[in-house]
Structure 1
C-alpha cells in the first residue's frame, strides 16, 4: 500500500499539492464556523436521574435556578423600605427579560434563605432559558445589562451555573490565544534547532496547521448535527500541532537521511513513505484507538474529545502521507535550504549516540539501573491512594472572577440557597398528607437545613415556625421539593446526603427524581466509573492487537502496556499531588479541589495514546534490526541509538504544545496541559531511555515470543512492509551494504 502511495505522489506531486491547497481552503472556510456550533457544559449524563429531574423541573416548574444575582444596597440593609422598593423594581425588570423565567427574590418570598445572615445582602434567583448555547447568550445579555449599579441604589453581582459558564467560555478563548502565542514561536525555534534548516523546520508546522484546520472543519460538521463541547478546540490545537510535528519530524528526518546517503530524490521519497510512512500510519492507529475510547462515555464533553482527537490524528496522518512526500518531490535537496551555519547534515552513528550508549549501560546492569527509576515513578504515583474526584465549578476560575466571588459570599453568609439545594421532583399528583410525611422524613436527615414544599417548610423532622408554603413548588400533576443543605457543595458529606435522600421511602406509587449540583456530581462519577472499565478494556485490547500485528510477539504488547501504565500512574500521581493536595498552588495560581473526573479520564487517554506513539517509533527500529539478524541486546542498543534523538525531539516539541496551557487561568486546563506534557516527557526519557532497554535485556529472546498458531496468524495478517530495497535498480547510493556497515541498509522500521 505504501509503495503505491509513494508512486502516486512521485508521479502527481503538483496535483496532490493543488488538491491539498483547495481542500485546506475549503476546510478553513468551514472551520471558521465551528466556534458558533460548539457548546459549553456537557459534563452530565443525559440518562442520569439528576438530568431527568432537571428536565421535569424545566417542563413543569420553569427550570432549576442557574443564575444567582447577589444584591447589596448602597446604604442600610435589605429590609429598608427604599431597598425593598428598588429590589422589587429590579425583579420586575428581570421578569420582562425574554431569556429568563422562574424569577424569585427575597422581597417576593420572604424566604430567610435568600437573605444574608447580616441582613446586608439578598438574592434574586432565576432560570436562564435554552440549551447551553442559548443559555450562554441569554445570560451574557442579562449580566451585561443588570450587573454593576442598578438605579444608583443597588450593587448587583452575578453568580450561579450560567454566570460561571459564561466566564469560563470567555476565559477559554483568552487562554487559547495565550497558549498558542507561546507554543508556536517556541516550537518554531526548537524545530530550527532540531533540523538546522528553515525549510525543513517549516514543513512540520505546515502539517500541524493542516491538521488543526481540518479538525475545525470536522467539528463544524459534527456541531451541526450533535452536541460538541467548546473545549474540543483546546485538544485540537495542542494535539494537531503536536502530532503534525511528530509525524513530519519522522518523515523529514528520514528523507534527509536518505538524501545524505546518496539516493535520488525519487528513491528517497519511496524509502521515506514505505518506512517512515508505515510507522506514521501505525502510530496514528494506536493514538486514534486510545482517543476513540472516549466515545463510550455519554457526556458530550468527553465524546467531543473523542471526535476531535480521532479527527486530528487521521488528518495529520493523511496529510503526512500525501502532502509531505509531494513537498519532498518538489523541494528535493532544497529541503535543506536556509541551513544554520553550525549544522552538519551528515549522518549520525547509532553506535556512538548518547541514547545508544545509555541503552548499553542500562543493559549491562538492567536491574540496578531500572529499580531506582521504578522506585521514583511508584513514589510519584503514591498520591493516587488518596485521590478524590469532582466536576468543574466556579472554583476553576481565578479568584478575581465575579461568579466565584458570589459563590464565596453565598457559602459564607447564607444558610443554603436554592441553587445549591437538592431538587426532588415527583412527576405525578401527590396529596398533602403524604407530601408532608415525605418532607418531614427528608428534613430529619443529617446535614439538611430545611425542606421547602408547596405544603410548607420543614426542619429537623417537623414543620418550621418560619418559612411559609411555596405554592410555586406544587402543580396538579407534579410536586417539587427543595432539600436545602448547609453542607459544603460537592463535599463528601454532600454526596452522601444525595444517597440518603434517594433512600427515603417516597409517597406510595411515586418514584421521585433527585437533582441538583451534588446529585449531578454523584451521577457523573457513577456514569464515568461504570463505563471506565469498558473504555480501558477497549484501549488495552486495541493496543495489544495492533502491537501484535506490528511485532508478531505477545510479550511486546504486554511489556508496552505495563510500562505505559507505570508512567501514566506517576503522571496522575503528580497531578493529584499538585491540583488536589494544593502543592504549587501559589505558584500556578489555582484553588486546590478534587480532581476533575472528566479531565482526568481525558488526560489518561491522550497520554496513553501518545506514549504508544513513541513505543512504535522505538520498537519499529528494534524489530527491524532483530529481524536482520542482530542479537537482542545489539538490536535494542542500535535501535535506540537511531531513534532516541527523534523521540526526544518529538516529545519535547509536543510537550511544549501542552505545557503552554500551564499559563491558563482555568485550573482544569492547567491540569490537562501540565499533566499531558509531563506524561510525554516521562515516557520519552524514563521509559524509552531506561525501562525499555532494561526490560528487553531481562526478557532476552523471549521478548519476541508468540505461540505457533499466532506466529502463523502474524505471517498472514501482520503489518509488514518490506518497501523498495535501497541499492536495487534505481539506487546506487552507499547504503546498500549490510547493517554493520550502514545504518540505512534494508531499514523498514520507519525511523
Structure 2
C-alpha cells in the first residue's frame, strides 16, 4: 500500500518560484526598455472624432484651409503698431507665420482688415491662426512656434496663448509634477507602512510591488503611445493609480499572511491559506476595478480609450503581482515577515469592537442619519456647469494664462466666442447663402456675422468688406463666422449652437464648429454613452460580487453605496473647484465650471476603488457568518478583523492620490482630490457606519440567494486552522 502512496504535491509557489521570479525580472527589464515611449505622448485626444463639430472642423481644414482658432500670438510694442517701423516688423512676422508648415488662416492687424485685432491704445496686436493636423502633429507644430516666436523680436515682444499653448504648458507641467509626486509618494508610503507593520521586510515588500507596477504602467503607456493618441496627463494618473493599487493589494496579502503565522501555522500552510483568503479577495477586487475601468473603452474619445486600456492593464499587473509574485516572495522571506507586537494592538481592537457595538445598538438612527448627511453633501453636484480645460486651469503666473488674461482685457473679441457655421450646399453668392447670412445675424445673442459677401447687420443685407475673402468659400459651399459676446461655455452660447443647428438654411445641412459646439457635442456623447454603459458596468460588477458572496442584497447594496459615495465626492468637488473653495487656497481661482470629461473619468476609476473596502469587509463578514450563523456577530467580527487593516490601506491610497494635489494644474488636483475623497468617504463613513447599520437592519436577508436550496450545506472556514469543516 505504501508503494501506491504518492509524494504530496508541492505548492505552486514553491514548485514554480524560479520561473515566476524569472518572469518578473523579464517584465522589469522590458519595462525599462519600453519606458522611453513616453516622449510620444501628447496633450490631446479629448474630442469625439465622430461628433458633428469634429466633422465640421475637418471639412473646414481640408476644403477651406481654415478652422477654429487654436493658437494666438500677442505682440506688444513701445510705440503704436501703425508706425512704419513697427508695421513692417508686424507684416514680416505675419508673413513668416503664414509660410509655416501646418499653419493656416493667419490674421493680424497689419495684414487683415478685420476689426478688433488691435488694442485700444494701438500698442498691442493680436495674431490668430489655425494649426492643422492631428493632436500629435498640432502639438509639435505649436511647440515649434512657441520656441521660434516667443520672446523679444524688436520692435515687438511676442508671447503665445490659445488652446495649443495651454496644452503644451500642461504637458510640461505634468512632467514636472510627476517627479514631484513620486518624490513625495514613496517616502510618505514608506513611513505609513513602517507605522502599520513595524517591520523592514513587511514594509519593503509592498513598496517593491508598487515600484514594479509603476514601471509596468509607464511601459504600457509608452508602448500604447506609439500606436494611438495617449494624453500625457494619463501618465500621472496611471502611475498614482498603479502604485496605490499595488501597495493596497500587497498590504492586504501581507497582513493576512502575518495573521496566519500568528495562528501558529507552518510557513507553507500560512502562504497557502493567504492565497485562498486574501488572494481571493484581491482577485475579486481587481476584477471589480477592471470592470469599472473598462467602461472607459466604451466612450468614443481617444483620451478615455487610451487611459482605459492602460488602466486595465495596470489593474491586471497589480493583481498579478499580489497573487502570483507575492506568494513566492512570502515563502522566500518566511518568518522575517512575522508580526511583532504593536503597542496599539489592544487599543485598536477595543476601538473597533466598541464602534461595532455602538452602530449595531443604534442601527436605524445611524443608517438614516448617515444617509441624510451624505445626500446633503451630494446636493451641490446638481449645480455643476460644464466647460473645457483652458487657461483658467493653469497656475497663476503661467505664460499662456497671463497672456490670455491680458488679451481679454485689451481685446473685447477675446472675451466672447466665435462659431464657424458651415453650409456645404450653399454656393457663395447664391440667394440661399445670402438668406442664411441674414437669418444667422437675426438670431438672439449674435453680435456679428461675417461671410463672403461682407458683414451682416441684424437681419439685413451685408455690408461689403475687403476682410471678407475667398477663404469663406469652398468648392461647393460657404461658411460664416458667427461672433457672440457670450462666454464659450455659457448657457447663452450653448443655446445659440442649438438654435443654429435647428435652422433650415439653404435647403441643406448646417454644421457648426468651435469650442461651444464641441462642448455641446461632448455633453451629448457622454450622456448617451453613460445612459447604458453605467448600468451595464454596475450589473456586471454586481454579478461578480454575487459570485463571490452568494447573496442578492449584498451586491445591490454595494453598488448603491458606491454611487452614494461618488455623489458625495462630486458634490464636494463642485464646492472645492467650480466654486473655488480649494483652488484659491492652492493658488488658483474659482473655475466656474467642470470639464465634462473629469466626472466620467473619476466615476469609472473611483467606482472600482470604492468597492475595494466594501469587498474586503463583506467577504470577511460572510466568512464569519458561515462560521457562526449569527448576522450581528458576523458584522462586528468583520469590522474588528478588517478595521485597522482597511483603514491603513485606505489611508495609504488616499496619501498616494493626494500627492496629485501638489500639481500646478487644477485638472490634476481635481482628479487627485476626487479619488482621495471617494476612497476616504467609502473607507470611513460608508464602511464604518452605513454598511454595518444597513446589514444589521437586513438581518438574514443579507444572505438570501435564489441559488441556495433548503438542504444546502453550510461550509465554514476555520480561520485558525485553514481547514474546511462541513
TM over 0.5: yes
Residue in 2 that maps onto 1:257: 259
Q: How does 1:397-408 map to 2 (within 5 A)?
A: 397-408=394-405
CA distance in 2 between counterparts of 1:456 and 1:516 reads: 21
Residue in 1 that maps onto 2:604: 605
CA distance in 2 between counterparts of 1:230 and 1:693 reads: 41
Residue in 2 that maps onto 1:448: 446
Pair 476,130 (structure 1): closer, same or farther in 2 beyond 3 Å: closer
Q: How much has 1:492 moved relative to structure 2?
A: 1.2
Q: How much has 1:747 moved relative to structure 2?
A: 11
CA distance in 1 between counterparts of 2:78 and 2:678 reads: 52
Pair 630,480 (structure 1): closer, same or farther in 2 beyond 3 Å: same
Greater shift in the superposed pair: 111-120 or 179-188: 111-120
Residue in 2 that maps onto 1:395: 392
Q: Is the 8 A contact 1:236 1:308 kept in 2?
A: yes
Is 1:27 equivalent to 2:31 in the alignment?
A: yes
Q: Is the 8 A contact 1:275 1:721 kept in 2?
A: no
SS at match of 2:422: strand
Q: How much has 1:285 moved relative to structure 2?
A: 0.5
Is 1:359 equivalent to 2:364 in the alignment?
A: no
RMSD over aligned Cα, in angstroms? 2.6
CA distance in 1 between counterparts of 2:286 and 2:675 reads: 17
Q: How much has 1:62 moved relative to structure 2?
A: 2.3
Residue in 2 that maps onto 1:579: 577
- Aligned partner (choices 38, 42, 51) of residue 39 of structure 1: 42
Residue in 2 that maps onto 1:703: 702
- Aligned partner (choices 410, 421, 425) of residue 422 of structure 2: 425
CA distance in 2 between counterparts of 1:143 and 1:626 reads: 65
Is 1:667 equivalent to 2:629 in the alignment?
A: no
SS at match of 1:123: strand
Q: Is the 8 A contact 1:410 1:417 kept in 2?
A: yes
SS at match of 1:389: coil
Q: How does 1:48-67 map to 2 (within 5 A)?
A: 48-64=51-67, 65-67=69-71
Pair 98,435 (structure 1): closer, same or farther in 2 beyond 3 Å: same
- Aligned partner (choices 412, 426, 429) of residue 409 of structure 2: 412
CA distance in 1 between counterparts of 2:423 and 2:382 reads: 39
Where structure 1 has 5 or more consecutive residues not aligned to the other structure, the ranges are 727-734, 737-743
Is 1:514 equivalent to 2:518 in the alignment?
A: no
SS at match of 1:90: helix
Q: How does 1:187-586 map to 2 (within 5 A)?
A: 187-336=189-338, 344=341, 352-416=349-413, 420-428=417-425, 430-432=427-429, 433-463=431-461, 465=463, 467-468=465-466, 469-508=468-507, 510-586=508-584
Q: How much has 1:566 moved relative to structure 2?
A: 1.7
Pair 293,191 (structure 1): closer, same or farther in 2 beyond 3 Å: same
CA deviation profile, 1:323-371 (whole Å, cap 9, x unmatched): 11111121111235xx9xxx51699679944223211110011122333
Q: Is the 8 A contact 1:356 1:642 kept in 2?
A: no
CA deviation profile, 1:684-730 (whole Å, cap 9, x unmatched): 011111111101111111111123xx3369999xxx9989x77xxxx
CA distance in 1 between counterparts of 2:270 and 2:342 reads: 15
CA distance in 2 between counterparts of 1:512 and 1:419 reads: 22
State the structure with bigger RCO (CA 8 A, min sep 6), 1 or 2: 1
Q: How does 1:638-677 map to 2 (within 5 A)?
A: 638-677=637-676
CA distance in 1 between counterparts of 2:715 and 2:141 reads: 57
Q: Is the 8 A contact 1:260 1:345 kept in 2?
A: no
Q: Is the 8 A contact 2:135 2:229 kept in 1?
A: no
Q: Is the 8 A contact 1:452 1:470 kept in 2?
A: no
Q: Is the 8 A contact 1:416 1:449 kept in 2?
A: no
CA distance in 2 between counterparts of 1:651 and 1:292 reads: 23
Q: Is the 8 A contact 2:218 2:239 kept in 1?
A: no
TM-score, scaled to structure 2: 0.94
SS at match of 2:693: helix
Pair 81,714 (structure 1): closer, same or farther in 2 beyond 3 Å: farther
CA distance in 2 between counterparts of 1:417 and 1:375 reads: 45
- Aligned partner (choices 74, 81, 86) of residue 83 of structure 1: 86
Residue in 1 that maps onto 2:177: 175
Q: How much has 1:429 moved relative to structure 2?
A: 5.4
